[in-house]
Structure 1
Amino acid sequence: MKAESKIQTRKAESTELEQSGFSLSALTFSLIIGYDGKRAANNLTGLGNYSRSLIEHLANQFPEHEYLVYAPKVKSAKQIDTFFEKDNIELKLPKNGAFLWRTLNILKDLTNDGCQIFHGLSHEIPLAIQHTRIKSIVTIHDLIFLRYPQYYKFIDRKLYEWKSKSACKRANKIIAISQKTKEDIIDLYGINPEKIDVIYQSCDDSFKTPSPKETLSRIKATYKLPDKYILNVGTIEERKNLKLAIQALKEVNEEYKLVVIGKQTAYFTSVEKEIEKLGLKNRILFLKNIPFTDLPGIYQMASVFVYPSFYEGFGIPIIEALYSGVPVVAATGSCLEEAGGPNSLYISPNDATGLAKAINQVLGSPQLQKEMKEKGLQFVQKFNSSVVTKQLMDCYIAL
């Protein structure tokens, strides 16, 4: 049965049952679930990967449902094209222009398509959706723009706050990606804790399988990776605190270099000055625009992963490192202990000496490395895609 005919059939079933007084939790037939797909259909990193991964895992694990992805436009790219090739995932574009569509006009399309649930994957849902029969969920990744406003432009900060606070007030359910984010939502927006579910994120399945030796050899040669290295992955911006890792490197065994993967921002200028001041230019390798398929191999060859960020909503790179069998040293102060678990090491994001000591502690003890790898891999199973996906579907059904 083609997607459109499926939708029409389920729309009729939905209308008939709703008129009979059934709630979504009582429905046993296939659901029609809509998503804010702006990033899924256009972004190749970050929230784009998160959105596609979430929907694709749902579609694989619960193929009886329809997953409609609403986006004002779509980008032509292999990973996006492949995503929309699945039978039960369908791209929905505006029928009458994109202006104000995601904010307001989308409601007519959601109703016509028979959507029973709409999931805003990043901090916002359509205005007035609370006045329709469509149940709504919003995912809040973080409220860093309120905790650390100095990292954001005033206009951007106010826009983010308005959208996310409004969505939290109007949505039937809120998903926080960490306990820390849940606490921030309660503290900063005054939301009832019972309205918020904590559902962690997973990472791409490619990090969960060891790469063949031939692949690792090719990757090492392609990027001229050193034999021994410490790894840091993430946008090179002030909040991510790369300078602390550089300062710590001065006190770390000289056999080890620091490999940094991430998009460079204006903060990179001060990073370069710090490297020059400490005389570490020959011990640091910057990589950017790395194909996603090569990233797991780069993780797997690292000796230790460092993530000294001042504040995060969760910390996917830590999950990637643990699945890759790499010991993790991260910063206290946000949610990184939730991602890294009790057997990773944690330091203050202002303590370069403490970071160096923790790195040296790991590098100097094969027994500690073995323990951190084994226990880290055990801990990270709680973030397995199948576990997270089941929790999310349970959240939908309970609406």
Structure 2
Amino acid sequence: MRIGFDAKKAASNLTGIGNYSRNHINLLAGNKDLECTLFIPGRGKEECLEAITGLDDMKIISPSGNSSINRTYWRNFSIVNDIKKSGVDIYHGLSNELPFSIKKAGCLSVVTIHDLIFLRYPDTYDFLQRKILTLKTRYACRNSDAIIAVSEQTKRDIVEFYGIPEEKVTVIYQGCHNVFKQVVPLSERESIRQQYGLPEKYMISVGTIESRKNHRAVIEAFAEAAEDITLVLVSKRTRMQKDIETLVDSLGIKEKVRILNNVPLSHLPALYQGSIGAIYASYFEGFGIPVLEAVTSGVPVIAATGSCLEEAGGKGAVYVNPFNPHEIAEAISRISNDSEFCRELVEGGKEHLNNFTDKALSSKIYDYYNMLLNRSL
């Protein structure tokens, strides 16, 4: 079985869809029944390429020129000729899009759709960005032979917004980075905690500070909860961070909230594992990878209802109304004070993680490709 991947994000993005793409490819590495070809429209980043397992055994196809215009044109249009020449059985677009004229590539096509948040909450995207995303995802969904959705929520959105038949969309969950599966020694956790100047008792929230992530409600909940806990927000710096800092000051809880920018991936496992719990109250996600990261790290989680976070957290989280700070505050207090409840969440999380083992995910992906090829015969 010969599979070709759109590996732009795998080769160049250190987070998000880049992590998903590398993990997807890595899950299949070493399968002797598979021959993987990576289509990369540029040189990529060394750190990303080094994280792809078995790269030396994979065929890499790139455009002849390296200008930005040439790379963009190749990935969207002329790549179809290279896909056809490569002889792959399936071409898989891992990041919401497929080349235009994909039907001329002479192979089956699959696209992974991560979310349609730009349609569900259009005000969170600027006009041009929303139009481009809509054009690309709509084309990919309508012209692919099959679609992978990363959650049931995303599947429902694909069916609702684009009128795609349900049977065309298969849900295959994503895993999280392997660094979260390792237990960090206590001494290292303590060292990293001190490096960031954090107290011993803190709750962590990992996610970009933007309106949809709902940091405002979380901070209001911390102001209400009469607990001796520090809230640690881990985010790249955004325009909204200043608004959040102003809110913290106005509520008089500056000593209870820390914002950490530019935290490397290598420090996140220690920060998760050193916390008393994680909180992720985003009111809409395509999957919610920070929830899975926290459950994998073995800490109790507070997550929001309303989209797909129950799929990511399973029995490892307590779920709250993201628009009700009082309900969030009650969950914070319970995590802080009820050790038996926390133990039950952690145990429930361990059970839930059976759905996300490398073996379970790789088998599902391989069986899916096999099914598509057998169906096309």
TM-score with structure 2 length normalisation?
A: 0.94
For residues 281 and 94 of structure 2, the distance between their equivalents in structure 1, rounded to whole angstroms, comes to 27
**Superposed displacement of residue 175, structure 1:** 0.3
Q: Secondary structure at the match of 2:56?
A: coil
CA contact (8 A) 2:96 2:112 kept: yes
Residue by residue, what CA displacement relative to the aligned partner does 1:153-208 show, whole Å, maximum 9, x if unpaired? 11111111111011101101100000011011111111010101000011012212
1:295: which partner in 2? 268
**Superposed displacement of residue 101, structure 1:** 0.6
Match of 1:69 among 38, 43, 58: 38
In the alignment, structure 1 residue 107 sits paired with structure 2 residue 80? yes
The equivalences for 1:334-345 within 5 A come to: 334-342=307-315, 344-345=317-318
**Superposed displacement of residue 343, structure 1:** 5.0
Which amino acid in structure 2 is aligned with residue 83 of structure 1? I
Distance change >3 Å, CA 99–CA 328, structure 1 → 2:
closer
List runs of 5+ in structure 2 lacking aligned partners: 373-377
Q: Secondary structure at the match of 1:35?
A: strand
**Superposed displacement of residue 104, structure 1:** 1.3
1:227: which partner in 2? 200
Which amino acid in structure 2 is aligned with residue 156 of structure 1? Q
Match of 1:80 among 40, 49, 58: 49
For residues 84 and 202 of structure 1, the distance between their equivalents in structure 2, rounded to whole angstroms, comes to 15
Residue by residue, what CA displacement relative to the aligned partner does 1:59-104 show, whole Å, maximum 9, x if unpaired? 14x2442222212112333342342763333432112542511111
CA contact (8 A) 1:136 1:173 kept: yes
For residues 223 and 79 of structure 1, the distance between their equivalents in structure 2, rounded to whole angstroms, comes to 26
**Superposed displacement of residue 32, structure 1:** 2.1
**Superposed displacement of residue 337, structure 1:** 1.2
Which amino acid in structure 2 is aligned with residue 354 of structure 1? E
**Superposed displacement of residue 108, structure 1:** 1.2
In the alignment, structure 1 residue 249 sits paired with structure 2 residue 219? no
CA contact (8 A) 1:138 1:175 kept: yes
Distance change >3 Å, CA 63–CA 301, structure 1 → 2:
farther
Match of 2:154 among 181, 201, 205: 181
For residues 355 and 90 of structure 1, the distance between their equivalents in structure 2, rounded to whole angstroms, comes to 49
CA contact (8 A) 2:27 2:361 kept: no
1:116: which partner in 2? 89
Match of 2:326 among 353, 363, 366: 353
For residues 227 and 135 of structure 2, the distance between their equivalents in structure 1, rounded to whole angstroms, comes to 49
Residue by residue, what CA displacement relative to the aligned partner does 1:322-366 show, whole Å, maximum 9, x if unpaired? 111111111111111111114521111111111000111122111
Which amino acid in structure 1 is aligned with residue 324 of structure 2? D
1:312: which partner in 2? 285
For residues 267 and 55 of structure 1, the distance between their equivalents in structure 2, rounded to whole angstroms, comes to 35
Match of 1:59 among 29, 38, 41: 29
Residue by residue, what CA displacement relative to the aligned partner does 1:189-240 show, whole Å, maximum 9, x if unpaired? 1101010100001101221221112221221222222100011001111110
Distance change >3 Å, CA 158–CA 76, structure 1 → 2:
closer
Larger radius of gyration: 1
CA contact (8 A) 2:10 2:48 kept: no
For residues 119 and 129 of structure 2, the distance between their equivalents in structure 1, rounded to whole angstroms, comes to 11
For residues 341 and 13 of structure 2, the distance between their equivalents in structure 1, rounded to whole angstroms, comes to 39
1:15: which partner in 2? none
For residues 344 and 121 of structure 2, the distance between their equivalents in structure 1, rounded to whole angstroms, comes to 35
CA contact (8 A) 1:327 1:372 kept: yes
Distance change >3 Å, CA 292–CA 303, structure 1 → 2:
same
List runs of 5+ in structure 1 lacking aligned partners: 1-30
CA contact (8 A) 1:107 1:129 kept: yes
For residues 76 and 101 of structure 1, the distance between their equivalents in structure 2, rounded to whole angstroms, comes to 19
Which amino acid in structure 1 is aligned with residue 261 of structure 2? K
2:61: which partner in 1? 92
1:326: which partner in 2? 299
In the alignment, structure 1 residue 398 sits paired with structure 2 residue 342? no
1:41: which partner in 2? 11
For residues 88 and 157 of structure 1, the distance between their equivalents in structure 2, rounded to whole angstroms, comes to 38
For residues 2 and 203 of structure 2, the distance between their equivalents in structure 1, rounded to whole angstroms, comes to 45
2:375: which partner in 1? none
CA contact (8 A) 1:32 1:67 kept: yes
Equivalent pairs counted in the alignment come to 368
Which amino acid in structure 2 is aligned with residue 383 of structure 1? F
Which amino acid in structure 1 is aligned with residue 16 of structure 2? G
For residues 195 and 95 of structure 2, the distance between their equivalents in structure 1, rounded to whole angstroms, comes to 35
Distance change >3 Å, CA 284–CA 63, structure 1 → 2:
farther
For residues 199 and 357 of structure 2, the distance between their equivalents in structure 1, rounded to whole angstroms, comes to 31
CA contact (8 A) 2:227 2:333 kept: no
| Farther off after superposition, 312-321 or 217-226 | 217-226
Residue by residue, what CA displacement relative to the aligned partner does 1:256-284 show, whole Å, maximum 9, x if unpaired? 10111111221212211110110111111
Distance change >3 Å, CA 99–CA 238, structure 1 → 2:
closer
Q: Percent identity?
A: 40
CA contact (8 A) 1:215 1:297 kept: yes
Alignment RMSD: 1.5
For residues 214 and 365 of structure 1, the distance between their equivalents in structure 2, rounded to whole angstroms, comes to 26
CA contact (8 A) 1:230 1:257 kept: yes
Q: Secondary structure at the match of 2:130?
A: helix
Q: Secondary structure at the match of 1:100?
A: helix
| Farther off after superposition, 284-293 or 188-197 | 284-293
